[in-house]
Amino acid sequence: MPRSLAACRSVCKGWCAAVDAHGLLRKDLLPLSLAGIFTVYNFVDGYHLPPAFLSRPSVAGKIQGNLSYLDDVHDDWSHIMGHCNGLLLLWGGVANPATRQWACLPCHPDQSFIKHDFLAYDPTLSPHFEVFFMECVRHRSQNEAAFDPSNPKSEWPPSPYTMSAFSSKTWRWEERSFTREGMPPRSIDPNILLLMRDVYSYESVYWRGRLYVLNIFFVIRLDLEDNKYRVIELPPINEARGHINLGKSEKGVYYGFVGGWCKLQIWFLRESIDHTEWMLNHEIGLKPLLDKFPWEHSHGSWFVQGLRDNNDETLDREKLEWDSDNDDATTAPATEVSVQKKFHKYISRILGFHPYKGIIFLHISDTRVVAYHLKNSKVEDLGCLPVDGDDWIQSSCVYTPCWIESCLRANSVEPNSEL
């Protein structure tokens, strides 16, 4: 991609100025590094709790994870709906926590509760972003949708699949249609029906011009250049309960599944011109590792902002910066483990994939966050993300900051003088 941008600079002075103006060839401005993990909590008395931002030590103080500068914009801006290459999709707008820029989106006339927004943004391709307002399958107890996952004759989405799309280039909503490639979804495996009975979040991944949307029972892949879509069935599972996550990592689109509290499966989506196939990339039972981990002697280096904010006075600036390539920063030998355990640890949810490394982030027993290294099957404690009382994590996104001043520059908040 940088090579293509460099070629564009040689076309004419106008193209050269456009590339340089947006800093598209400056790697230090692009979303190429991991800053932390945003988490969204459940409703409390009808209101969303502020998001929590678990961040690396070098990021604490540089990126304001609690989004408090948006309080005067709208109360609903505390709810994060998605993330894509440095931009956060919020209720009613888009924000960039790194540059503290934001923009309110024009209201869409269709406020249907069965439709959801999904963000597509790649600053190496364009300074503009798109938001897609798509109808999503829900459980039949909530919505008698056209698609019945238990009926093999049911076909949804239709072809063409028409939805509303917002572009920051035109700054308006327009209808956009996608033609189906391949077969419509077939009847869904009963295990997946049971697994999804309590799932109400809709995740998406933007990868190389395609938007992948986890639409409860399957993945819908939108090709934004060719205006085509394909329905991709989920990988086979043998558990009736667990947690799932759709994300991107070093080679493309990945699907994570936790079943039976500690069984972890990682699937990779292999794609060709006319074929898609889920390949089992990693499978392990993490119970022995979690039970033997010396939690009482472990001190994670990441910090929490937002829901349970750390004041600057409490931040330990001397903690070593997290190094995802350091194989030594993992579990201690079993001889150092205390045999007294109050309870067994388990995986409460998958928080996301490292975008550029073979690492998956897991929330353990409603308290700790760990990085599980796929290449050596070791666990690294990053810190605490406590969940108290009736709180529970509704969704999460791994955040890669983008420092390019884009089409959000009209609305911004100046950083503190100390930053």
Backbone angles phi, psi at 103, to 5 degrees: -150, 135
Consecutive H or E run containing 230: strand 228-233
What domains can be seen in the chain, in order of their start residue? 31-399 (2.120.10)
Q: For 34-50, how does the pLDDT look when each residue is reduced to its tens digit (9 = 90+)?
A: 999 998 877 665 566 77
Mean pLDDT, range 89-97, rounded to an integer: 89
Mean pLDDT, range 157-180, rounded to an integer: 92
- Integer Cα distance of 238 and 188 in angstroms: 13
What percentage of the chain has pLDDT greater than the value 90? 33
Q: For 349-400, how does the pLDDT look when each residue is reduced to its tens digit (9 = 90+)?
A: 899 999 999 999 999 987 899 999 999 998 999 988 877 656 678 889 999 9
Which tokens sit at 206?
């933007």
Which tokens sit at 58?
């070098």
The SS3 of residue 191 is: helix
pLDDT higher at 369 or 14: 369
Q: How many helices (H) and strands (E) does the chain have?
A: 4, 26
pLDDT at 18: 62
Least confident of 184-198, 239-253, 263-277: 184-198
pLDDT at 156: 76
Mean pLDDT, range 100-123, rounded to an integer: 83
Rounded-to-5 percentages of helix, strand, coil across the chain:
10, 35, 50
pLDDT at 340 over 50: no
pLDDT higher at 80 or 28: 80
Mean pLDDT, range 229-250, rounded to an integer: 84
Mean pLDDT, range 306-313, rounded to an integer: 47
pLDDT at 147: 57
Q: For 56-91, how does the pLDDT look when each residue is reduced to its tens digit (9 = 90+)?
A: 888 877 887 878 777 666 666 667 888 999 999 988
| The model scores a pTM over 0.75 | yes
Which tokens sit at 71?
């309080």
